[in-house]
Amino acid sequence: MKILAIEKEAPGTTDDQFTPLLRQEAEGAWELYQSGVIRELYFRADREEAVLILECQDLEEASHILESLPLVKNGLISFDLIPLIPYPGFERLFGAPDGNRDPA
């Protein structure tokens, strides 16, 4: 299952709290990327928050995996997790699974 994970910074945090953990965080993210759990990793253009696409069995697994990251472990960030499914709307354009076109 693909899962969208959007970082949320904990209220009241400072840059000084993040700095000592950033290398460990990058190493943890790299390991998850190499193992195929993190499929895509971005930063938002409008603020310094990560957006990840994960490949996990379910939300529980995704949450457990993200809890292993140092910034999450230390309560500096958390993630909103959103389960994703393939877009079903093309069926309206190209027909139902039985091959019949939908007149709507």
Q: What is the tens place of the pLDDT at every residue in 52-100?
A: 999 999 999 999 999 999 999 999 999 999 999 999 888 888 876 665 5
Which pLDDT belongs to residue 91?
84
Q: What is the tens place of the pLDDT at every residue in 4-15?
A: 999 999 999 999
CATH number at residue 45: 3.30.70.1060
* % of the chain residues with pLDDT over 70: 91
71-74 contacts at long range (C-beta below 8 A, 24 or more positions apart): 71/18, 71/21, 71/25, 74/17, 74/21
Query: What is the count of structural domains for the chain?
Result: 1
Domain that holds residue 60: 2-94
Is 100 inside any structural domain?
no
pTM: 0.84
22, 23, 29, 30 alpha-carbon torsion, rounded to 10°: 160
Residues in CB range of 14: below 8 A, 6 or more apart: none
**Radius of gyration of the chain from its Cα atoms, rounded to whole angstroms:** 18
Is 104 inside any structural domain?
no
